[in-house]
Amino acid sequence: MVVTPFTPIASLLGGALIGLSAVLLMWATGRIAGVSGIVARLFPPYQDREFTGRLVFVAGLVAAPVLVRLVTGSFPTQTIEAGAAVLIVAGLLTGFGTVWGSGCTSGHGVCGLSRLSVRSLVATVTFMAMAIATVFVTRHWS
């Protein structure tokens, strides 16, 4: 594992930007900024005409590090320790689970909790607990 520094100020400000984005999306389109829901609805079956809007939102997410590199001259720190096999399993579980549970960290953890949704509270407690348990098993049981 790689030790990472504690960054409360940057994390608080970054979190505030995420929140600002969610509020702006609600103001502009009237929809929840849940990334898993936005990505999943890029695939059929289509139930509305919001495809282009979702696609450009995702394009904005992908463009963010490119903009940071243009401004600062380098990419921010990123360390991905998982190998290809783990990434595939983790990706499948993340994709399936977020659709099955109607949301992820952004939709339930940020938007849902701030709207005092009981379903989002149940979902957030569950995925946090399972993620903590998974890391405990992979890092401390071997």
Partner 1 sequence: MAIFVQFAIGLVFGLGLILSGMSNPAKVLNFLDVGGIPAGTWDASLAFVMAGAIAVTFVGFNRVSKLARPFFAERFYVPMRKDIDPKIVIGPAIFGIGWGLAGFCPGPALTALGFGSISAFIFVAAMCAGMVLARFIAQLPSSTRAVTPADPLET
68-107 binders of partner 1 (CB under 8 A): 68, 75-82, 84, 86-107
Is the CB of 30 or the CB of 73 nearer to partner 1? 30
Six-digit token string for 2: 């790689």
Distance CA 78, CA 17 (A): 19
Query: Binding residues for partner 1, how many (CB under 8 A)?
Result: 117
Q: Tell me how far, at minimum, the Cβ of 49 lies from partner 1, in Å.
A: 11
Q: Tell me how far, at minimum, the Cβ of 73 lies from partner 1, in Å.
A: 14
Closest C-alpha to 34, from 117, 127, 121, 102 = 102
Six-digit token string for 112: 């849902």
Six-digit token string for 30: 């009237």
Using CB under 8 A as the binding rule, the residues of this chain from 13 to 72 that contact partner 1 are 13-37, 39-41, 43, 45, 47, 52-53, 56-68
Six-digit token string for 132: 């903590």
Handedness of CA 77, 83, 85, 86 (dihedral sign): negative
Six-digit token string for 25: 């999306």
| Residue from 1, 70, 73, 142 in contact with partner 1 (CB under 8 A) | 1
* Other C-beta atoms lying within 10 Å of the C-beta of residue 57: 19
x/- mask, partner 1, residues 119-138, rule CB under 8 A, reads xx-xxx-xxxxxxxxxxx-x
Q: Tell me how far, at minimum, the Cβ of 43 lies from partner 1, in Å.
A: 5
Is the CB of 73 or the CB of 101 nearer to partner 1? 101
